[in-house]
Structure 1
Amino acid sequence: MLHDTTHAQTDTTIIRGFDSLSADDIPLVGGKNASLGEMIGALKETGIRVPDGFATTADAYWRFLEANDLSETKAYRALGTAYDTKAVDVAVRSSATAEDLPEASFAGQQESYLDVRGENAVLSACKRCFASLFTDRALDYRKKQGFDHLEVALSIGIQKMVRADKSGVLFTIDTETGFPDTTVINAAYGLGESVVKGLVNPDQYTVYTPFVDEETLTPILEKTKGDQDQKIVSTGEGGTATVPTTAAEQDGVVLSDEEILRLARWGQAIEAHYDRPMDVEWARDCDSGDLFVVQARPETVQSQQAAGTLRTFRLTEEGDRLVTGLGIGKSIVSGPSRVLDSAEEGERFEDGDILVTEMTDPDWGPLLERAGGVVTDRGGRTSHAAIVSRELGIPAVIGSETATEVLRDDQSVTLSCPDGDEGHVYDGRLDFETDEIDLEVLPDTDTRIMLNLASPAAALDWWRLPVEGVGLARMEYIINNIIKVHPMALVAFDEVDDKGAQRRIEELTRDYDDNAEYFVDHLSRGIATIAAAQRPHPVIVRLSDFKTNEYADLIGGRGFEPHEANPMLGWRGAS
């Protein structure tokens, strides 16, 4: 339940409670804080929970430049009274008056501090937030975006800290294709900094939102488990620490289906209120189990794309694949790889290099602006590297796990991201071609035009085309590339003699009590994704038509298939 609190406001030009703010107050408290106030005031009836707090105003910033002020301590005491504690733990977040606008994300340009406790600590964090407006990266970013340094002020949000055991980010639009009818959720254990900073490869869930309010349906199109060996937690004494995740956390998925759908519904309510796609940060309280929204801002990339043009990229030669990760952007680029441990090694970086590093934070901003592409070991689709790469329009391969080990410095590589969810790095400079389709000038036809598709991820790439559905969706791709396991190896697991195959099957099915459900879930989600991309038009699915040698190539398949001299005319032709 939200706290209905009236904050002490002895000087309303200096301190404003979140409950007194709205979207009209961006010039006063910045986009981040104005959005929190707007959600508290306008979306309470939807059940969306937002932790209470207050904001210093732009007026406070200008006055701070002239003399220190202690109004923050009065409001902090009032917030502590509201939560029945003297030293309430809070998050102290910067909110520039030019931040979180639809045109520019300002991702991580100003500092924020978590689990701050005590009046002196809050005042110190506020001063450091003010100072972060003048770091090299912040000055450089505003210059590139065309903002006058002397016209941008900084508000600070002081918000009751959510003791998060789970947290993450959701987008109410597909971040890579702009498909509007999905919500993409990233989730990790502990505080959300691990997701935003790319410290871990988070879980990813995709929900088909037109059916999200149907109580009899579970419209989850994707559940991809991440790789999370660490998490950021509150120390309980003011401050945070990075600790290993438990074995149970590493084995399980972060969110339940009910939590996934609740977040998707909240995302839709927020998007409907703001009338634009949104980027939302959320957290789950470890004590109560309640979910909270801690930040909401406009999505800044796909929502700004021109709707009438579709640009495609395609490799025209093959090469040795070196690493694979999440593909960001739909383009291809070649260049020398530059493997860096930190942004301080930037003197070795040249324009157009492919940046290869463990992960990025805002200190990498000037290098990212010069990069031809980005490859990281860690991170997900909502990490800093992914968000900035989208904004800059450069391809990125995120969360590859091994890029800094496999790629050599100054190695010629090709970074390719046009096919589905994955991005790949190939050895050498490979040839590719591009094509730009002007959807506005495509002719009308008397013939019904339908697509041939196999990949569920690629289906979302083509949602803008003026077609009338899918004429052929091949089931084999889903079984080969997503399920990967022979169906008999799932239902008769004890009959699989290959120990290596057994280990791979156990790894793939570890979240399932019944292996058959693994097959059904992944097949149904794959077909549903293709159907979702073309709804309300029909999708014609061809049932699988494997030959015995193709079945044998699936994990655990060799023991269940005969050897045939001519698989084209054997079991396949008779069954």
Structure 2
Amino acid sequence: MDNSYIRLFENLNSNDVPIVGGKNASLGEMIQNLKQEGVRVPDGFATTAQAYWEFIEANQIKAQIKSLLHDLETEKQSLSEVGKAIRRLFKKTSFPKDVEEAICQAYQQLSQRYNTEDVDVAVRSSATAEDLPEASFAGQQETFLNVSGEEELLEACRECYASLFTNRAISYRQEKGFDHLEVALSIGIQKMVRSDLSGAGVMFSVDTETGFPDIVLINGAWGLGENVVQGAVTPDQYTVYKPLLKNQNCCPIIEKTKGSKEKKMVYASEGSSKTINIKTSSQERNTFVLENEDILQLARWACVIESHYEKPMDMEWAKDGETGDLYIVQARPETVQSQKISDSFETYRLKEKGNKLLEGLSIGDAIAAGKVCCIKSVKDIDQVEDNCILVTEMTDPDWVPVMKQVAGIITDYGGRTCHAAIVSRELGIPAIVGTGEATRLLKNGQEVTVSCAEGDRGYVYEDKLDYDVQQIDLENIPETKTQIMINIATPAAAFRWWRLPVQGIGLARMEFIINNLIKIHPMALVHYDNLDDKKAWKKIRDLTRGYDDKRDYFVDHLAQGIAKIASSQYPHPVIVRMSDFKTNEYANLIGGKQFEPKEENPMLGFRGASRYYSDRYRDGFALECQAIKRVREIIGFDNVIIMIPFCRTIKEADKVIEVLAKNGLKRGENGLKLYVMCELPSNVLLAKKFAERFDGFSIGSNDLTQLILGVDRDSSDLSDLFDEQDEAIKIAIEKVIKVAHQQGCKVGICGQAPSDYPDFASFLVNLGIDSISLNPDSVIEVKRRIAQQEDNN
């Protein structure tokens, strides 16, 4: 039934943007080309640009619109006054008869297709200048949900036309250089997905913060998807590793974070409003919106859509609560990371410590400082001052005009795909979203620092803190024979440094994941029902809601943290050091004091390998092993290598290897490699015997220096004696490399020395060390130096 005013989605494609706008053209493109790939898109139809121009002409409002826009340009009237006046013009109009008949006829046919009298539809605006690679126009026009009946539909269409001149849409077109009177508006009328009975959300085929291309990021909440888009709730977050999706034996979900999902939007049963927000139940808040199969299905669709469009994509999804089917309801090009130049990037670093006031999800990786401007309503945005830190509950497109003038943004609600996150990325402004209590804790005029440079958590610090910015140039980096790797502390840091020219991770510290993500002593989870500390018991209860077996909480979070690190360098090797807390550090974990002895010198006490076979910690180590096994065999990262720290004797090495095997981690099975830290004199003296039991050594130059020279590395009085380049240390390292190579064993170094001392890196290259693992910020400089040294050799 296509005509000059109506086009069915199934008859549209990407070439039809001038006729039906980016949003509707994309829906048609997917229905035409991706249906055979299994991608489900709800049926519908679009009004054309011609229908819009006929509407303007029939109601004779073009001259008035032009006059009002001229008033805005000449500052005779404000943006608010002009926008309101133009929208009022639209609302006094009526549709030309032939346009109205075309819309009603198409709606009747859509209703018949779904075997109902008045099908419920979503009515969305689709401007002919939106969803372009360089301009998203995200949320600039209105959306109307649960619209049914011809009268309601025509009213929603009129409101859509009027929304082409919302304040935010006018402002955005001005900024992007679009002529207001050259942009037409198409309307998409699409069958509603009953996600009010299930859930919905947003999905990106690239990491929105770092541009890492190998993941799909999914946000979801209960009910209709508007709350996620607007940032009105803190949603669940799921991250999937794309390259392993083709392997049916893998489940490459590398992150699942439960959002608070405070409310959900559902169909309204009474009153004039068609939708209503209601509070979610306790069970809903503590349950993931999507099961693993649904997460993987959406991620596969994201890959199909990205491959078809040949660019990173921003998509909206919905799950029908009546049928259980998933749908893609929108797809547009991603407009931030895809536009960035990849041959360089900036890194920010705080130069001083501060008092942490609150935290949330970090958006971007920059730092900003300024005075707080706490505004709870968009009505008060005229109070926003230039270069302030905007603090509010959430933002929507009406906030855009002032978001451009602030230094940073902090919100109570929202996830990585909410409006505040999308716009702040596009503007290059650091933002922290989903803090839960920013508007309550922060006061107008208070000086704060917003730091998004510390991983996936963003922190708000008291006062203006000093920070620096470093430009990392990735052009003309020479290749090296020596394998250059990096040391990574947290999963978030792995994504931050994915662009670096390295071949793996030489040290991923498990204890950082336990301390920052899990926070609970593993033995306190094993013996949860018998904890002496009732406060710790309550904290564990709250952190592990949704887990009947508390041990699963540890395994899930540890596995996902390791998997996220491993994904950043797959298929290059990622060496994961098993837990190496000292007893005092373990005791500081929630519930830890009950399970840790008090030691005079924890540095030389119950740590590393000695814990793994001990009755004190054996069950905790079993959880670590389960996590590693899951990462390698279920999630699919067989590039993970296990490293054993502080292994004092050969007898101890044999005990640890036996315990690993009992936990399903047998050296050589499924390609599993075992490394040992070389950080004790015994590792050097007995290098041949250790090499018979392990596949590689990783030199920990800090501990090795401490124990060979007998110097506390943290002692300020003895700092002059602590020298990783001392002759005794060099002799020890030379011996280990020589013996290991004789046994066919790899040797790398993960200590600080190569990052700090150029001559030390050259010394290692001359010895023929296999790999050098560096701190990320020193990679470029040291790699250039190593290449030069190799050329000289």
TM over 0.5: yes
Code of the aligned partner of 2:248: E
Gaps of 5+ in 2: 59-94, 612-793
- Please state whether the residue corresponding to 2:220 is helix, strand or coil: strand
Contact 1:253 1:511 in 2 (8 A): no
Residue aligning to 1:501: 536
Residue 319 (1) aligns with residue 354 (2)? yes
Q: Distance in 2 between matches of 1:347 and 1:160?
A: 39
With normalisation by structure 1, the TM-score equals 0.97
CA displacement at 1:340 relative to structure 2: 0.4
The 1-side partners of 2:214 and 2:602 are apart by: 42
Partner in structure 2 of residue 150 of structure 1 = 181
Q: CA separation in 1, counterparts of 2:605 and 2:365?
A: 41
Establish whether residue 213 from structure 1 lines up as the match of residue 204 from structure 2. no
Unaligned runs of 5+ in 1: 1-7
1:570 aligns with 2:605: yes
Residue in structure 1 matched with residue 549 of structure 2 by the alignment: 514
| Structure 2 partner of 1:362 | 397
- Equivalent residue for 2:571? 536
Partner of 1:58: 49
**SS of 2:379's equivalent?**
helix
Q: Higher relative contact order at CA 8 Å, sep ≥6: structure 1 or structure 2?
A: 1
Superposition deviation, residue 29 in structure 1: 0.4
- Map 1:447-466 onto structure 2 (within 5 A): 447-466=482-501
Counterpart of 2:493, as a letter, is A
Return the match for 1:40 from 16, 27, 31.
31
Counting only pairs closer than 5 Å after superposition, residues 99-498 of structure 1 correspond to structure 2 as: 99-164=130-195, 165-235=198-268, 239-498=274-533
CA contact (8 A) 1:137 1:363 kept: yes
Q: 2:117 aligns with which of 86, 100, 105?
A: 86
CA contact (8 A) 2:361 2:457 kept: yes
Moved more, 206-215 or 355-364: 206-215
CA RMSD of aligned residues (A): 1.2
Partner of 1:151: helix, strand, or coil?
coil
Aligned to 2:676: none
SS in 2 for 1:201: coil
Q: Give the match for residue 5 of structure 1.
A: none
Larger mean Cα displacement after TM superposition, 487-496 or 506-515: 506-515
Opposite residue 216 of structure 1, the aligned amino acid is: N
Say if 1:340 and 1:356, in contact at 8 Å, map to a contact too: yes
User: What is the number of residues matched between the two proteins?
Assistant: 566
Secondary structure of 1:437 counterpart: strand
Could you say which residue in structure 1 is the equivalent of 2:15?
A: 24
Deviations 1:85-122 (A, max 9, x none): 12111000000001111111111111110001110110
After TM superposition, give the deviation of residue 513 of structure 1 in Å: 2.8
Note if contact 2:258-2:286 (Cα within 8 Å) is conserved in structure 1. Answer: no
8 Å CA contact 1:343–1:367 kept in 2: the answer is no
1:466-511 CA distances to partner (integer Å, 9 max, x unpaired)?
1111111111101111111111111111221112211221222223
Shift of 1:53: 0.4
Q: Deviation digits for residues 420-476 of structure 1, max 9, x if unmatched?
A: 111111111100000001100334434321101110111011111111111111111
Q: Which amino acid aligns with 1:57?
A: T
In 1: Cα distance, 2:543 partner to 2:328 partner: 32
Distance 1:50 1:307 in 2: 33
Residue of structure 1 in register with 2:6 after alignment? 15
What is the alpha-carbon distance in structure 2 between the residues aligned to residue 83 and residue 399 of structure 1? 39
Greater shift in the superposed pair: 119-128 or 489-498: 489-498
Report the Cα distance in structure 1 between the residues aligned to 2:601 and 2:484, rounded to whole angstroms.
Answer: 36
Q: Deviations over 1:39-83 (max 9, x none)?
A: 101001111111100000111110010222312111111111111
**What is the alpha-carbon distance in structure 2 between the residues aligned to residue 42 and residue 444 of structure 1?**
42
- Per-residue CA deviations over 1:2-35 (Å, capped at 9, x if unaligned) read xxxxxx33xx110000011011101110110000
Deviations 1:532-570 (A, max 9, x none): 101121111111111111111111111111122222233
Any idea what SS the aligned residue of 1:248 has? Answer: helix
Instruction: Describe the SS at the equivalent of 1:450.
Output: strand
Give the residue type in structure 2 aligned to 1:15.
I
CA distance in 2, matches of 1:377, 1:308: 35
Name 2:701's counterpart in structure 1.
Answer: none
Helix, strand or coil: the match of 1:157?
strand
Could you say which structure has the larger radius of gyration?
2
Counterparts of 1:158 and 1:568, CA distance in 2: 67
Letter of the structure 1 residue corresponding to residue 154 of structure 2? L
CA distance in 2: counterparts of 1:325 and 1:218, whole angstroms: 28
**Counterpart amino acid of 1:111?**
E
Deviation sequence 1:290-343 (CA, Å, 0-9, x none): 111110111010011001012100000111111100000110011111000112
* Letter of the 1:381 counterpart: R
Shift of residue 254, structure 1, vs aligned partner:
1.0
**Aligned residue type for 1:255:** L
2:658 corresponding residue in structure 1: none
Question: Counterpart in 2 of 1:527?
Answer: 562
Matched residue of 1:568: which SS?
Answer: helix
Quote the Cα distance in structure 1 between the aligned partners of 2:39 and 2:318.
Answer: 12
CA distance in 2, matches of 1:427, 1:442: 39
Q: Partner of 2:725 in structure 1?
A: none
Which structure has the highest helix share of the two?
Answer: 2
> Residue type of the partner of 1:133?
L
Shift of 1:239: 0.9
Between the aligned partners of 1:550 and 1:139, the Cα distance in structure 2 is: 56
Q: Secondary structure at the match of 2:520?
A: coil
Looking at structure 2, the residues matched to 498 and 251 of structure 1 have their Cα atoms a distance apart, in angstroms, of 24
Pick which of 300-309 and 555-564 moved more.
555-564
Contact 1:491 1:515 in 2 (8 A): yes
Which residue of structure 2 aligns with residue 74 of structure 1?
105
Equivalent position amino acid for 2:32 in 1: G
- Cα displacement (A) at 1:347: 2.4
- Contact kept, 8 Å, 1:163 with 1:234, in 2: the verdict is no
SS of the residue aligned with 1:243? strand
| d(CA) in 2 for partners of 1:424, 1:267 | 31
SS at 2:264's partner residue? strand
- Cα separation, 1, equivalents of 2:269 and 2:293: 29
Instruction: Give the equivalent residue in structure 2 for 1:3.
Output: none
Aligned equivalents of 2:476, 2:385: Cα separation in 1: 40
Deviations 1:238-258 (A, max 9, x none): 710111112220121111011
